[in-house]
Structure 1
């Protein structure tokens, strides 16, 4: 009888240990398949060379006050332990970016005014990452110039209204940059209402040439096409268990956020609570 009891006890211990091991293994497995967290950080171009359709003045991010803000902001984001920091630059520049980042972390490089370095380099360095990753895509040609030429010839009144809206937008943006703080401007760039207005710029002439050339739809599609490719580059890095920060112009992130919203394999990580 005692022998049977010992056998039963030993068997029970083995079963409990097996269940415990299986439970621990399941927890580990669940941790491994956690969806990636992706922060899409929309910004204005800190150094504005005037290449965008909307022409505007921008705030000087190099003032002591703004530099102090950027130091604090990037520290808060770095403290969240991101695994990847992506910046809006073409992959063909990756080697150049790598050299600049290495020099920066070694104390031999002064940051340029652009947001890729003022934000991206700082966050990655403070988080202890080996570098930043270029995720832009410029091989898709945006057909904005073709659309404007078509409107000049075929819908001059629409072209006039378009030009007036673009001009007013530039003036309004300049006014905001002359009156708001850097923090307020970045919050504005990531405001859902502003993001909808931003996307509208690329679709408000979608009907031009409808039923014939479809030049309006083709121009809008070419812009979305570029952003779909940029999102693919983000997806390639945002694998299970990662925390990704992707910094880009708000014209891109407005669209990228709509793609992230329907991406069941990744969770949105909101930047607004840090701004």
Structure 2
């Protein structure tokens, strides 16, 4: 009996130890960059967006959400909404879980709510930070006179990116569009817009660098909200505009306390 008791005690200790190890495993974070399904036209790049309410798009959104829920199994789904909206978001989500809420045409609902429900009712959380915005006013005031060559290059780049984006929305399926938007090529292209004008005002007010810094500042705050949610043992899906994810992806790559999980194989 003493030997049996000792074996039971040892097995219990090993089980508790294993559970402790699992609980201390770094959070896994999957980043998903999207376009705004209902585009308010506030971005520098103006795009006529693909209609996500079409039968084909709705079928894909349902299948894509199920795959993310089953294969990644997020414990938390973080959405690009203001933290102050969390109370209302919780109300809407509880209504949706009960079948009493029709999903608006917005990615936080069409993707976020669907994935969270399919994952067994995972938590949904707002993580956006809107106190800090992209402060490009001084840059746009100075660039035409102080840096006309950069202004011309900037205008050309915006025109090219806009044309490319409109062409992608016009010709690609939703699956192919999301896959393209989450490519390294598109992330680099997005960040290049800020870096092109970064030198404007160098040594004389730094209008370009300050504008770029304000965008990174906002995204640093957003990533701080992600870090707060992504405690050890969590599996966190982050859904946000592709411009945010382009920057946040670099933060996650350097975060030694958390592990990045690629979304590439899920499209």
**Corresponding residue number in structure 1 for 2:23:** 32
Residue 81, structure 1, aligned to residue 70, structure 2: no
Residue 112, structure 1, aligned to residue 112, structure 2: no
Displacement after TM superposition at 1:70 (Å): 0.4
Displacement after TM superposition at 1:15 (Å): 6.6
**Corresponding residue number in structure 2 for 1:4:** none
Residue 177, structure 1, aligned to residue 169, structure 2: yes
SS at match of 2:91: helix
**Corresponding residue number in structure 2 for 1:139:** 131
SS at match of 2:194: coil
Residue 66, structure 1, aligned to residue 57, structure 2: yes
Displacement after TM superposition at 1:160 (Å): 2.5
Displacement after TM superposition at 1:28 (Å): 2.0
Residue 23, structure 1, aligned to residue 14, structure 2: yes
User: Which stretch shows the higher mean deviation, 248-257 or 138-147?
Assistant: 138-147
Q: Give CA deviations for 1:72-108 in whole Å, capped at 9, x if unaligned.
A: 0001111132110010011111122222222222222
**Corresponding residue number in structure 2 for 1:46:** 37
Q: Give CA deviations for 1:17-62 in whole Å, capped at 9, x if unaligned.
A: 6654543333222111011010111111111121100011111111
Displacement after TM superposition at 1:170 (Å): 0.8
Contact map agreement 1:44 1:250 (CA 8 A) in 2: yes
Where does structure 2 lack aligned partners over 5 or more consecutive residues? none
Q: Give CA deviations for 1:172-221 in whole Å, capped at 9, x if unaligned.
A: 11011111111011011111121111111122211111112111111111
Contact map agreement 1:195 1:254 (CA 8 A) in 2: yes
SS at match of 1:86: strand
Q: Please, what is the CA RMSD of the aligned residues?
A: 1.8
- 1:186 paired residue among 178, 183, 186: 178
Displacement after TM superposition at 1:120 (Å): 0.4
Distance across 1 between alignment mates of 2:261 and 2:30: 5
Distance across 2 between alignment mates of 1:76 and 1:222: 36
Distance across 2 between alignment mates of 1:78 and 1:213: 48
Where does structure 1 lack aligned partners over 5 or more consecutive residues? 1-8
Question: What TM-score do you get using the length of structure 1 for normalisation?
Answer: 0.91
Distance across 2 between alignment mates of 1:215 and 1:145: 9
Distance across 1 between alignment mates of 2:84 and 2:14: 46
Aligned residues: 266
Distance across 2 between alignment mates of 1:251 and 1:177: 16
Alignment of 1:115-264 (within 5 A): 115-129=107-121, 131-264=123-256
SS at match of 2:200: coil
Contact map agreement 2:75 2:123 (CA 8 A) in 1: no
Distance across 2 between alignment mates of 1:200 and 1:28: 45
Q: Give CA deviations for 1:100-145 in whole Å, capped at 9, x if unaligned.
A: 2222222222211111111001111222226411000111131122
